[in-house]
Amino acid sequence: MKIRFISLASGSSGNCYYLGTENYGILIDAGIGIRTIKKGLKDINVSLDSVHAVFVTHDHADHIKCVGCLGEKYNIPVYSTHKVHEGINRSYCVTEKLSTCAHYIEKGETLCLKDFKISAFEVPHDGTDNIGYCIEIDGKTFSFLTDLGHITPTAASYICKANYLILEANYDEEMLKMGSYPGYLKKRISGPNGHLSNMETAEFLAENFCENIKYIWLCHLSKDNNHPELAFKTVEWKLRDKGIIVGKDVQVIALKRSIPSDLYEFE
Ligand SMILES: [Zn+2]
Ligand SMILES: [Zn+2]
């Protein structure tokens, strides 16, 4: 079975990932416009008709901008927890409120859709409720952890399960410290319910490297407090300290914010 993964956008101005097989796909988050989603999918020969569900991680604007449209206009089921759904329908950025398209998955629950086995789990962040997803297809495991302030034992267990890992590397600690953000915002970002820094992610990966990980995509990079190259290097250096060679033992990719990534295909 051929599995395809692409990031259509990643970062605080919008997040959207596609994961699919030949004729069945899902989106994780939909924080960009419908046109951008359609174009990004069209460029990899995927039509919106073959997108059968959207899984939402939390109710911040950069993850939900398009869920009303995808759900109510295109009739694509939108899955998340009850709490996230309440948050979505309270959100200023969702003009079409979700009703018939709202579907539920709770933390600790596993759902089967076609060849996809999808589990939801808790991550520490400051949305109304915050979810990571672990998706198993044909014996391959993808874990999505975007927007989390620190790595809890639960988050760690899903990171270690993954063959293909999408994990946040939001900011460079020095850039955030020296940058122009107001103090309260710096505190929020670096706090336990904010975001992961390059170093936190790099150190965790180096300390807990599991042989089964083949690809790591660093996601949700900050525009103001990070660079793709810097995030990549930080992880590469930390892994090298432990004798793990990027490009040989594992692939690491820092995802761009507003342009789609390459298309990754796995058999
Ligand atoms: Zn976000
Ligand atoms: Zn967030």
Whole-model pTM? 0.97
CA angle 164, 265, 229 (to 5 degrees): 60
The per-residue pLDDT for 251 is: 98
CA atoms in the 13 A half-sphere facing the CB of 118: 26
Ligand whose nearest atom lies closest to the CA of 220: 1
The per-residue pLDDT for 189 is: 98
Helix (H, G, I), strand (E, B) or coil at 185: helix
Cα 178 vs. chain centroid, distance in angstroms? Answer: 27
Average pLDDT over residues 125-139: 97
Q: Mean pLDDT in the chain?
A: 97
User: 180-234, pLDDT tens digit by residue?
Assistant: 999 999 999 999 999 999 999 999 999 999 899 999 999 999 999 999 999 999 9
Q: CA–CA distance from 42 to each of 1, 18, 39, 188 (Å)?
A: 21, 12, 5, 37
Ligand whose nearest atom lies closest to the CA of 59: 2
At residue 104, does pLDDT exceed 90?
A: yes
For residue 264, report the distance from its CA to the centre of ligand 1, in Å. Answer: 23
For residue 1, report the distance from its CA to the centre of ligand 2, in Å. Answer: 33
At residue 170, does pLDDT exceed 90?
A: yes
Ligand whose nearest atom lies closest to the CA of 189: 2
CA atoms in the 13 A half-sphere facing the CB of 169: 29
Task: Name the pLDDT band for 101 (thresholds 50, 70, 90).
Answer: very high
User: 110-129, pLDDT tens digit by residue?
Assistant: 999 999 999 999 999 999 99
At residue 143, does pLDDT exceed 90?
A: yes
CA atoms in the 13 A half-sphere facing the CB of 152: 16
User: 56-67, pLDDT tens digit by residue?
Assistant: 999 999 999 999
For residue 39, report the distance from its CA to the centre of ligand 1, in Å. Answer: 22
For residue 196, report the distance from its CA to the centre of ligand 2, in Å. Answer: 11
At residue 52, does pLDDT exceed 90?
A: yes
For residue 220, report the distance from its CA to the centre of ligand 1, in Å. Answer: 7
Q: Which residue has the tokens 């790099």?
A: 202
For residue 240, report the distance from its CA to the centre of ligand 2, in Å. Answer: 30
For residue 147, report the distance from its CA to the centre of ligand 1, in Å. Answer: 6
For residue 173, report the distance from its CA to the centre of ligand 2, in Å. Answer: 18
For residue 148, report the distance from its CA to the centre of ligand 2, in Å. Answer: 8
Task: Name the pLDDT band for 95 (thresholds 50, 70, 90).
Answer: confident
For residue 93, report the distance from its CA to the centre of ligand 1, in Å. Answer: 14
At residue 254, does pLDDT exceed 90?
A: yes
Ligand whose nearest atom lies closest to the CA of 168: 1
Ligand whose nearest atom lies closest to the CA of 130: 2
The per-residue pLDDT for 23 is: 85
Amino acid identity, position 59: D
Cα 174 to Cα 178: distance, rounded to the nearest angstrom:
6
Ligand whose nearest atom lies closest to the CA of 193: 2
The per-residue pLDDT for 212 is: 95
The per-residue pLDDT for 185 is: 97
For residue 248, report the distance from its CA to the centre of ligand 1, in Å. Answer: 31
